[in-house]
């Protein structure tokens, strides 16, 4: 009979010990759980930002690599200007306009107030 009581007591102690462990795990402070979650979120966001920065850098470097060389002396030919068509007598026949209406002039023709 004493052996039965001892076995029952040991079983009760084991059950109580596991319940205490479960209670401790469940009683983790809420702030620790929130802090851990926020830390994981910031880590994921940081990794995404780094990946986007790398992709952006690669894209910009590829665009710069493929861009044509520009000669500063020929800059006026690169600007959008309208075309003037002259007839056989040298008179203005037609003006073909682009999206912008530009005309290259010399700096001496620009007023001082500008």
Got the DSSP string for 36-77?
HHHHHHHHHHHHHHHHHHHHHHHHHHHHHHHSPP--GGGHHH
On whether residue 91 sits in a domain, the answer given is yes
pLDDT band at 12 (very low <50, low <70, confident <90, very high): low
pLDDT greater than 90 at residue 38: yes
Q: Say if residue 57 is in the same domain as residue 82.
A: no
User: How confident is the model over 39-87, as pLDDT tens digits?
Assistant: 999 999 999 999 999 999 999 999 999 988 877 777 666 666 677 888 8
Q: Say if residue 79 is in the same domain as residue 23.
A: no
Q: Say if residue 6 is in the same domain as residue 33.
A: yes
Length of the chain: 114
Range of the domain at 9: 2-66
pLDDT greater than 90 at residue 10: no
Number of domains present in the structure of the chain: 2
CB 80 within 8 A of CB 99: yes
pLDDT band at 15 (very low <50, low <70, confident <90, very high): low
On whether residue 114 sits in a domain, the answer given is no
Question: Quick check: pTM over 0.85?
Answer: no
Q: Say if residue 97 is in the same domain as residue 49.
A: no
């Amino acid at each position: 009979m004493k052996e039965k009581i001892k076995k029952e007591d040991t079983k009760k102690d084991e059950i109580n010990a596991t319940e205490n462990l479960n209670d401790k795990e469940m009683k983790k402070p809420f702030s620790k759980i929130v802090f851990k979650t926020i830390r994981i979120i910031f880590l994921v966001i940081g990794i995404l930002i780094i990946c986007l920065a790398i992709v952006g850098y690669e894209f910009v470097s590829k665009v710069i690599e493929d861009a044509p060389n520009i000669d500063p002396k020929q800059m006026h030919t690169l600007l959008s200007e309208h075309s003037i068509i002259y007839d056989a007598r040298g008179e203005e026949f037609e003006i073909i306009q682009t999206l912008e209406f530009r005309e290259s002039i010399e700096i001496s023709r620009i007023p001082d107030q500008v």
